Amino acid sequence: MTAVLLTGFAPFDGAAANPSWQAASLAASRRNDTVAVELPCEFGAALPALRAAIEEHRPSLVVCTGLASGRHAVTPERVAINLVDARIPDNAGAQPIDVPVVENGPAAYFTKLPVKAAVAAIEAAGLPAAVSFTAGTYVCNQVFYGLLHLLATELPDLRGGFVHVPAEADLSVANSAAALGLVIDTAQTVATDMPVPSGTLH
């Protein structure tokens, strides 16, 4: 039994590497309580791979990560929506448009991670962080929503959520890994999130 399951994605869209997997694997290598698993960047395979990893490792905490090019901070996600609308094909060539992650599922789920407290911890370490209110509509959001649906319907005692990391040009893999470690530490010690503002005006 592993305390923490940390996931990242395989490279996609022709890239040679994916910073989410690089950071996740590095963060896990620094901890005795964490295992890292690389998820395929494929709509048809990502959620089955996540479920298999959960069944194999039986964690008490799951933190999935993905790449958010164009962002300049580590961004714990607050809400997953029941929508897939792929701007580009996945690694298997699939490009679903305007379909739900889960047929007849709720419109959205909120994270089970203390994202405000995690952002505060990351910022206290001198690293850039912010709460995000959109995980997109690609495989990242599909995995985020699928994870929370699994928690809501089958595994209510499991905690989990999703964190986006920037491209390496905006934040080094080492710093992203350090931030993920702080997300894990915070999730393991904070049961109720901080009552501080993190909303946006747009």
Whether 41 is catalytic: no
Indicate which residue of 140, 147, 151, 180 is catalytic.
Answer: 140
**CB within 8 A of 76, min separation 6: which ones?**
111, 113, 115, 118, 119, 129, 131, 132, 161, 162, 163, 164, 183
| Count of residues in the chain | 202
Cα distance between residue 21 and residue 8, in whole Å: 4
- Are 150 and 53 spatial neighbours (Cβ–Cβ below 8 Å)? no
Q: Give the distance from CA 12 to its chain's centroid.
A: 16
User: What residues act catalytically?
Assistant: 140
